[in-house]
Every structure is written in structure tokens, then in C-alpha cells.
């Protein structure tokens, strides 16, 4: 006989907020097992930024494209910060 108890649904997707250096916010719904490179590429296309000049950070640490939300223990509603890489420095 089948168990009629409702199965606990495991959250497969989560919504992540990407906050730009100008404080603009873009939300993405992504699977916990999807490499974050997909989100990063979508953000770059949506905002028209140069792929080589932006960095994505989660809790102060740089995100690598091959990492997944599961790898970083991300939860629904978490924020990813986008910073513009600055070149140069000393005068």
C-alpha cells in the first residue's frame, strides 16, 4: 500500500538578487545545482557590462563560474554583489 502522507518538497529553485555597483537590482531564479556562470552571463547580457571588468561576490568572496548555489550554501533571497574591476593604482 502506498504511503498517502504528502512528500516534503525539496526546494530545487531559489531566487537570487544581483546588486550592481550602481545599486541596481536584478533577480534571477536558478536551480541550486546550476553553475553560477549561467547567472553571471545572463546578468552581463542584461546590463551590457564588459565580462572582463566585473566581479561577482557572495559574502565578500569572489564567485567562480563553476560553483553552484549549493556549493556556496546559498538560500532563497540571497544577494550577489557586482563590482567593477579597477586597474591602475599608484601615482
Give me the CATH number covering residue 60: 3.10.20.90
- Domain of 77 in residue numbering reads as 13-84
User: Quick check: is 17 in a domain?
Assistant: yes
pTM for the structure as a whole:
0.80
Sign for the CA dihedral angle at 47, 52, 53, 54 comes to: positive
pLDDT of residue 4: 54
User: Quick check: is 91 in a domain?
Assistant: no
Residues 41-88: tens digit of each pLDDT: 999 999 999 889 999 999 999 999 999 999 999 999 999 999 988 766
Average pLDDT, the chain: 88
Residue 90 has pLDDT above 70, yes or no: no
Burial 38-57 (b: 16+ CB within 10 A, else e): ebbeebbeeeeeeeeebebe
- Pick the more confident residue, 11 or 78: 78
User: Quick check: is 77 in a domain?
Assistant: yes
Residue 2 has pLDDT above 60, yes or no: no
- The helix/strand/coil state of 37 is helix
pLDDT of residue 85: 81
- When divided into structural domains, the chain yields a total of 1
Strands (E), 1-91: 13-19, 25-31, 54-58, 61-62, 79-84
Tell me if 53 sits within 8 A of 22, measured CB to CB.
Answer: no
Average the pLDDT over 5-12 and give the result.
Answer: 60
Amino acid at each position: 500500500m502506498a504511503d498517502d502522507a504528502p512528500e516534503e518538497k525539496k526546494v530545487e529553485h531559489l531566487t537570487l538578487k544581483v546588486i550592481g555597483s550602481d545599486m541596481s537590482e536584478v533577480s534571477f531564479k536558478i536551480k541550486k545545482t546550476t553553475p553560477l556562470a549561467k547567472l553571471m552571463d545572463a546578468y552581463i547580457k542584461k546590463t551590457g557590462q564588459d565580462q572582463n571588468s566585473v566581479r561577482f561576490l557572495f559574502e565578500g568572496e569572489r564567485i567562480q563560474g563553476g560553483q553552484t548555489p549549493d556549493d556556496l550554501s546559498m538560500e532563497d533571497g540571497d544577494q550577489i554583489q557586482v563590482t567593477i574591476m579597477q586597474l591602475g593604482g599608484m601615482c
